[in-house]
Structure formats: C-alpha cells, structure tokens
Chains A and B, each alone.
Chain A
Amino acid sequence: MPLHSNHLLGLDGMPKDDIQLILDTAVSFREVLERPIKKVPPLQGKTIANMFFENSTRTRFSFELAERRLSADVLGFQASGSSLAKGETLKDTARNIEAMKVDMVVMRHSAAGAPHYVSQVIEANVINAGDGGHEHPTQALLDIYTIREKFGRLHDLHICLVGDISNSRVARSNIFGLKTMGVKVSVCGPATMIPRELDKLGVDVYHHLDEVLPTVDVLNVLRIQLERGAGRLFPSIREYHNYYGITKQRLEKTGRAITVMHPGPINRDVEISADVADGEHSLILQQVLNGVAVRMAVLYLLATRN
C-alpha cells in the first residue's frame, strides 16, 4: 500500500496506515545507516530541492544526508526572512525552481501553510520541513520512531510535551501523530503558552510539572523560542527554568526512569539541564540519528509512490 498523498504537509489528518508504513520503512533504512557504505540507489536520477526560507542546520543536514544516501541529486538554499523580503513571491520562487525539472521540494518557511500553498501551485512532491507555528511532520515522525524503538511499542505509553506549545510546530505534529497512533498525550507549560481549546484535541493540559511527572513515560522538552516572541509569555528565563526546567533533581524525585527527548537545538539550563540532556535517560542524539532514517523513508515512499 503506497502513501495516501503525494505530499507530506503535516500529520493532521494523516491516516494511521501511512504513519505505520513510514515507521516500518524507516527500520530498514536505519539498518542501512549502520553499514560501512551508507548509500543505496532508489532515488538515482531524482532531483530534490531543499528550500529553506528559515534558518536550519539540523533539519537541513538531516534531509540532505537522507537524500544523498538515497542517491538523489540535491540542490538547495537557505535564506532568512520571508520570500517577499527578497522581492520575489513564494509562488514565483517555487515555480522557477520547478521549471528546472525538480522532482521533489523540501521546504521550511516561517509562515504556517506555506508548503500547502506551494503544493497547489507546483507538480513536484512537497515535504514540509517546518511551517511557522503549524507543523514539523518529519520531526514528529522521528520522535514517534524513537519512542517505538526504545519501548518496542506505542500503546500504554504516556508522553508529555513540556514548554511553549503555542509557538511550537513540533508540539502540534507530535499531538496529531501520537493521537492517531493511540498514545496518551499531555502537555505541560505556563497558561500563557498553552493555545486556547487545546484540550479539544484530546490532550490533557497541566501547568505544574510535579502533577504530571508521576505518570509520564516520556518527556518531550520543547525549546524556548525567544526568536518567536516567547519572551512576552513568561516573566524571565530564571523563573521559567525554576518552574518548567527539566532537571535531574526533579526527575529523581519521582523515583522513576523517565525518558527525555528534545527536538533541538537545546538551550542548556533553560528548558533542560545539562545533566539531563547528557544523562542516561536522554534520547536526544538517538533522535538525530533516527531523523535521517525517517526522512529517507519519507523521501523513498513519496518518490516511488507512482
């Protein structure tokens, strides 16, 4: 069974079968990454454009690596700010790049819905690598993959996303994907960082870490994004760290081994303390490695769909 869509725009509304297929396919690519020669041929002759209208290192490298390891031809750019700042509309940029016979477009953009719009004006497969505060589907897929790898299952787990949910595309994609897979999801953060009516998405909302920690299996700790105006939503970094920072002491108090994840980049000793980030229950670097395999799976499944 191929994927249901030509594009990966988000996990909102993505069928469970599709998520399952991507996770299962990623297992075999994960094995490829352990080989001495980490390159396989399925995307030979395909051209992929990485359009990063917003800065990124990790995600861009991860996609590029995934593309090269599938033997695709790769080109890309990175520009900060919206496309309009450069004087060309997003539509024109996308159509010009497609005119050069590009097969797939991976794009990151500061505006929610930008990849959805591009998918309507060009024929190439579009993969969303993060659109504003909306979705970051491959990040959530690699998070889910990493959880499944660690626990060997997804059912009966309780995942809590901690931090600025309002501004977080990682949180949204995780909520959509995890809910589809039947996982119990909660969020924890100050009231100013929880968007309205979030509970209607079927997640439990907490404002105090100590209330949720006793039942949690995995904490997915979100980055405080000062660049997205998060500074207006809490009094100070110091207060945030004291009340929402994930520290070894706070975790040990529960007497349980809680797994900790973070989509990166980390603000050490802000949302997560160094001893937790580098600690034995941290999956942070595992996430990064799995990200390449999951992205290989997504690219492979979209490219070979027809």
Chain B
Amino acid sequence: MEILLKGGRLVDPVSGRDETTDIHIIGGKIEKISTRISVPSSSQVVDLKGKVVAPGFIDMHVHLREPGFEYKETILTGCTAAASGGFTAVCCMPNTNPAIDDESVIKFIQHRARVALGGLVDVYPIGAVTAGRKGEHLAPMAELADAGAVAFTDDGDPVHDTEIMRRAFEYASMYDKPIIQHAQDKQMTKGGVMNEGLTATELGLPGMPAIAEDVVVARDISLVEFTKGQYHVAHMSTAGSTELVRQAKMKGLRVTSEATPHHFTLTDDAVRRFDTNTKMNPPLRTKDDVEALRQGLKDGTIDVIATDHAPHSFDEKQVEYQVAPFGIVGLETAIGLSVTQLVQKRLLSLYQLVEKFAVNPRRILHLPQVRIAEGETANLTIFDPVAEWSVSPQKFMSKSKNSPFDGYRLIGRPFGVMNNSQVFWFAL
C-alpha cells in the first residue's frame, strides 16, 4: 500500500503541528511528511485540499452490544459505524450479556475486534466495577486489567454504594486505571424518563432531576480526594456537575469528564413530540445546562467528546415513551455535530477539537498517544471541516438507526480513516 495524502491540513497536538503538507504512506507507515512530495505514477494520490488530517479519533464511550445483544449491534457493525464516523478506536462498555466482568469476555471481544475490519478500528474493552454490574461486590479488576481492560465502569447504572465506590477507587489505583461513573442517584431518578423541569411538568412524564447527577459527582469527588483515585465522569449533562468538576480540577484532583454531542446540542424541549429517540440516560437537559457544557468544553473542564453510542432496534423504540429503552446512536454524527455546534460557533478551534477526540481520551486511559510523524504507524482521521450534509439514519453503517438528528443539516464530515494498514474512504 502506497498512498500520497496531498495538501491536507495536518493537525497533531501531540507533535504540536498545524500546517498544510503532504504525507507519504508506505505499507501503513508514515514515510515522509513534507510539502510537495513527488511519488511514482503507480501510487495512489488523494487530494486533501481543505481537509484536516488528525491522529486517529477514539470514542471512549460506545456500546457495541456484543456479546448478548447482537440484534442491536455487533462488534463488526459497531466498528464499521465507528470507521464511517471517523474513529479509529472505540472503548466498549461492559453492559453486555454476560457483562465484561471476567477475562473470557475481554478475550472474546478482542478476538472479534481483530477479525472485524482487519485492525482498522482498535477496540479497548472497559471492565465492570462490580460483578455482573450488580453493585454488590467488586469485579476481578486485576484480572480484567491484565487482560486489557483500560478502565472500569458499571455504566448504564451508577456505582451507588459509597463503600464499594471507595474500594473500587483504591483497587483500581493499583493498576493506574480510572473509574468511569454514570453519575446518578438511583432513588431520585427511579421511574424517571426525562429531565425534571418545565417540559416534564407539561408532559406529565416522570422526571430525573439534574441534582441527582450533581450529588453523586460531589460524593465521588470527595472519595477521589480521600483515596487518591482517578475519576472520569461519563456523559456529563448538568451545569452543576460541570462546576463541581471545574472546582475539583482547580484543586489538582485526578478528575476528568466527557460530554456527548446530543447533550451539548439538544434540550429537553425535543421530548415534546414523545419521540423515543430523544430518550436517553442521562436525559436531555435545559438550555442553561447545554450552555454550561459548551463553556466547560471551551475552558477545558470537559476533556473529551464521547458519543455514548447506544444502538437499539427499530421495534424497541416503536413503543410508548415510558416503555422505550434509553439511548441513541452517535458514532456517525459525532464529528458533524461537534464541528457545527463547537467549531462553527468558535467555542473550539480545530486543534482543540482534535484534542477532545484523539489526545485527551488516550491521556485519561493511559494509552500511547498517536503521533503523525515520520516512521510512525499511520493512524489517521481525515475530515472535511466545512462540508455540509444532511443526516439520514437509514444510511448509517450501524445496525441501529435510533437517532434524533434525522434530517439535520450539519457542517463537518468524516472523509476517511487509516489504521494498521487498513484504509476506509468515506466520500470517494
């Protein structure tokens, strides 16, 4: 394989580069980075004028659903959706069946991922904090870490018991792994299906108050201070928890956070038509929360953009709002929504966007950084930051189409990905 990427804008925060240049790739390795490289006429030349070439994006919050829920998504279809959305790596959440709470499930996922797309998309499993995600006693975290788990979470559910959360921080610290928390007080959100507030009051739908997230984040931050553990807030959705994370960072605690494109794009007003594709957990919040998340992304309180890609079959969502499962797909709209909502609105530069999608997640998970430099493996995300397109879930590569963004006009579109000698061109 010999490819010349011609005239793209190389944006690599790790090497500190932001320049227009050619990149010559031979056999999956970056041979040369220079302006005006000439190659033999036999090699493939891709014109990347106006496109951004960045270190491969990683989505650290993805539900691949396999094993157990292959009718929603498989490792193959999920990885294909990831590539199509501009990602060369995903972290998969442990709420599978069986849950990722022992070595055998990790090995199974790793095997499936290797054969899926020949290594185009790296899959990093995240282990459960508690056995069976039941919240009762710790999962074998040492075994999971040794097998390749990059972090621990009971995502989908919070780790509710304060004592167990304390011990999880202590235990995971031995392996330098973060605990990722789905921060939510279970009693306060019991039966809830949307944000508690004016819209829920009008619709008569049971609410999940923002404070239910805040109180758990506050407790966990206190535990981090006590245990010296590492903490990452998954899909942060409220102004309150954003402020708590901001303060924790100022104290120098090992606390980080992520936000999803749907939480920084939509408000709970979207629920009004009872569209079950607006039902997710945590729920869509208010305008003030959306604004706080955007400011958090801008000032660095929120380190990562992650999608919480949560596929559900068509029929599962064709039910009463209160009955429908939580979650929407996100891999294939992440770049578009982020460029439209953050870069176009000048909250983030393209350089900062690449940090949120490629650099910061790897830093939090202690994964080797991807660099675009001569001699390195070509692990690249290439996207067009100005292309306009409209979202059509029926065209998604994901097995599931449960997106609230059907028909949205977005700016910013993936163009191609490259990793482990595999290439996927989105638009050619």
A: residues with CB less than 8 A from B are 12, 82-84, 89-91, 109-114, 116-117, 121, 131-135, 169, 172, 195-198, 200-201, 229
Cβ of B318 and Cβ of A89 under 8 Å apart?
yes
B contacts, CB < 8 Å to A: 191, 196-198, 200-207, 209, 273-274, 315, 318-323
- Pairwise interchain contact B274-A198, C-beta atoms closer than 8 A: no
Please count the residue pairs between chain A and chain B whose beta carbons lie under 8 angstroms apart in the complex: 74
CB pair B204 A135 closer than 8 Å: yes
In the complex, chain A residues whose CB is within 8 Å of the CB of B206:
133
Residues of B within 8 A of A112 (CB): 203-205, 274, 321-322
B201 touches A113 (CB 8 A): no
* CB-based contact B205/A133 at 8 Å: yes
B320 interface neighbour in A12, A114, A196, Cβ under 8 Å: A114
What residue in chain A is nearest B201 (Cβ atoms)? A195
Q: Judge whether A133 and B320 touch: CB under 8 Å.
A: no
Q: Which of B200, B274, B318, B320 has most A Cβ within 10 Å?
A: B320
Q: How far is it, in angstroms, between the C-alpha of A12 and the C-alpha of B202 when the chains are bound?
A: 8
Residue in A91, A111, A169, A201 whose beta carbon sits within 8 Å of that of B321 in the complex: A111
Contact (Cβ within 8 A) A169 B319: no
Q: Are B318 and A132 in contact (CB under 8 A)?
A: no
Our pick among B204, B319, B321 for the contact of A172 (Cβ within 8 Å) is B204
CB distance from B400 to the nearest CB of A (A): 17
Contact of B197 among A113, A132, A197 (CB under 8 A): A197
In the complex, residue of chain A having the shortest beta-carbon distance to the beta carbon of B273: A116
Instruction: Give 9 closest A-B pairs by Cβ, nearest first.
Output: A134-B204, A113-B274, A133-B204, A111-B320, A197-B198, A195-B201, A111-B322, A112-B204, A113-B321
Contact in complex: A201, B203 (CB < 8 Å): no
Instruction: A128 to B198: give the CA distance in the assembly, Å.
Output: 22
Nearest Cβ distance between residue B178 and chain A, in whole angstroms? Answer: 34
- In the bound complex, do residue A91 and residue B319 qualify as a contact, i.e. CB atoms below 8 Å apart? yes
Q: Known interface pairs A112-B205, A117-B274, A132-B204. Does A90 touch B319 (Cβ–Cβ under 8 Å)? A: yes
Give CA–CA (A117, B202) in the complex, Å.
Answer: 17
Q: Which of A91, A109, A114, A172 contacts B318 (CB 8 A)?
A: A91
Q: A91: nearest residue on chain B (CB-CB)?
A: B318
How many angstroms from the CA of A12 to the CA of B198 in the assembled complex? 13
Residues of A with C-beta under 8 A to B203: 112-113, 134
Contact A116 B274 (CB under 8 A): yes
**Knowing A132-B204, A135-B204, A172-B204 touch, does A113 contact B320 (C-beta < 8 A)?**
yes
